[in-house]
Amino acid sequence: MDASLDGRVIAIAGAAGGLGPTVVRRLSGAGSTLCLCGRERAKLEDLATEAGAHADVDVVDLLDPEAARGWAAALAERHGRIDALVHLVGGWRGGTPIEEAPLEDWGFLADLLVQTVQHATQAFAPHLLESGRGRFVIVSSGQAQAPTHTNAAYAAAKAASEAWTLALAHRFKGTGATANVVVVGAIVAPEMRAEDPDKDFSTFTPAEEIAEAIAYLCSDAAASMNGQRLTLRGAV
Ligand SMILES: NC(=O)c1ccc[n+]([C@@H]2O[C@H](COP(=O)([O-])OP(=O)(O)OC[C@H]3O[C@@H](n4cnc5c(N)ncnc54)[C@H](OP(=O)(O)O)[C@@H]3O)[C@@H](O)[C@H]2O)c1
């Protein structure tokens, strides 16, 4: 067992999506207590069972700030501490030329990718500060720094969620807590490789590498890394 996360209480938001299961498997082997949230209980429970994880499962809609605060308070009550929040809530809209892009996409993505980060950080920051070694991690896209025009709304939302996270890192400065961004390309999870073994995923970022980066950022080995973008995109 990798003991570097032994005893930590790690919350994972959006745990049952494309990336979440790989992260859950990685962290569940590291001695931490995992607290999984999403909007569908059955998916989260199946994931916890499959990963053999010592995990809580909570249904939480992070678009609701009170639900986010309630989740953080419940975890702190249950476990006496919260050491990390890994934010994996995701979704995508785009694909049309910028002059035709429906601006409703911006509203949808700003809610999903920015507001859920804002609600989660406001709910969890006091607990992460109290931990003494609190960690906050988001997974962002290369689009935030180098947008393509058919992804304008997505890129703008990811850029805003990065800026919010870097501002949180400024709040955490000198406290022992950290906030960082893992920047990736399109993600390939083991389930995707199994479903389509002949597909060329060579330009994708492997979910296993992202999970490793998250495990590192949550550990004491990354105690001095705060307000950074850790980029896993190959030579781009
Ligand atoms: N996939 C990629 O290629 C890619 C590329 C770059 C960056 N990223 C980022 O990496 C992270 C993980 O990506 P992913 O592909 O795993 O994301 P995803 O599968 O699209 O979404 C992850 C989970 O977010 C949950 N979610 C959605 N709205 C929510 C809400 N209001 N409250 C709580 N949970 C909510 C969903 O849970 P339910 O199923 O329960 O609704 C879903 O399972 C995301 O932040 C994403 O933006 C992904």
**For all residues of the chain together, what is the average pLDDT?**
95
Read off the CATH number of the domain in which 185 is found.
3.40.50.720
CA of 15 to the centre of ligand 1 (A): 8
Section 59-70 average pLDDT: 98
Atom 37, ligand 1: which residue's CA is nearest?
A: 38
Render pLDDT for 48-63 as a digit per residue (tens, 0 to 9): 998 877 789 999 999 9
The beta-carbon contacts of 95-104 under 8 Å, at least 24 apart in sequence, are 95/150, 95/151, 96/150, 97/149, 97/150, 98/149, 98/150, 98/152, 101/150, 101/152, 101/153, 103/153
Could you identify the atom of ligand 1 that is nearest to the CA of residue 210? 10
3-state secondary structure the chain: CCHHHCCCEEEEECCCCCCHHHHHHHHHCCCCEEEEEECCHHHHHHHHHHHCCCEEEEECCCCCHHHHHHHHHHHHHHHCCCCEEEECCCCCCCCCCCCCCCHHHHHHHHHHHHHHHHHHHHHHHHHHHHHCCCEEEEEEEHHHCCCCHHHHHHHHHHHHHHHHHHHHHHHHCCCCCEEEEEEECCEECHHHHHHCCCCCCCCCEEHHHHHHHHHHHHCHHHCCCCCCEEEECCCC
Closest-CA residue, ligand 1 atom 5, reads 186
Domain that holds residue 158: 3-232
Q: From the CB of residue 232, how many other CB atoms can be counted at a distance below 10 Å? A: 17
Best residue among 43, 58, 88, 111 to mutate for probing ligand 1's pocket (most ligand atoms within 8 Å of CB) is 88
Measuring from each residue's beta carbon to the nearest atom of ligand 1, which residues come in under 6 Å?
14, 16-20, 38-40, 43, 60-63, 88-91, 112, 116, 139, 141, 184, 186-187
Distance, CA of 95 to CA of 101 (rounded, Å): 8
Closest atom of ligand 1 to 186 CA is 3
Rounded CA separation 150/147 (Å): 8
Between the alpha carbon of residue 171 and those of residues 113, 139, 164, 223, the distances in Å are: 21, 19, 11, 15
Report CA(83)–ligand 1 centroid distance (Å).
Answer: 21
Ligand 1 center from residue 132 Cα (angstroms): 28
Q: Ligand 1 pocket test: pick from 89, 113, 187, 236 the residue with the most ligand atoms within 8 Å of its Cβ.
A: 89
CA of 123 to the centre of ligand 1 (A): 19
Note if the pTM is more than 0.95.
Answer: yes
What is the predicted pLDDT for the residue at 29? 81
Q: Give how far Cα 224 sits from Cα of 54, 135, 212, 217, Å.
A: 28, 11, 17, 10
- Asked if the model's pLDDT at residue 3 lies above 50, the reply is yes
**CB contact at 8 A, 67 and 38:** no
Please tell me the residue having the least CA distance from ligand 1 atom 42.
17
Summarize pLDDT for 97-109 with one digit per residue, the tens.
Answer: 999 999 999 999 9
| Total structural domains within the chain | 1
Q: pLDDT at position 235, please?
A: 61
pLDDT per position as a tens digit, 105-131: 999 999 999 999 999 999 999 999 999
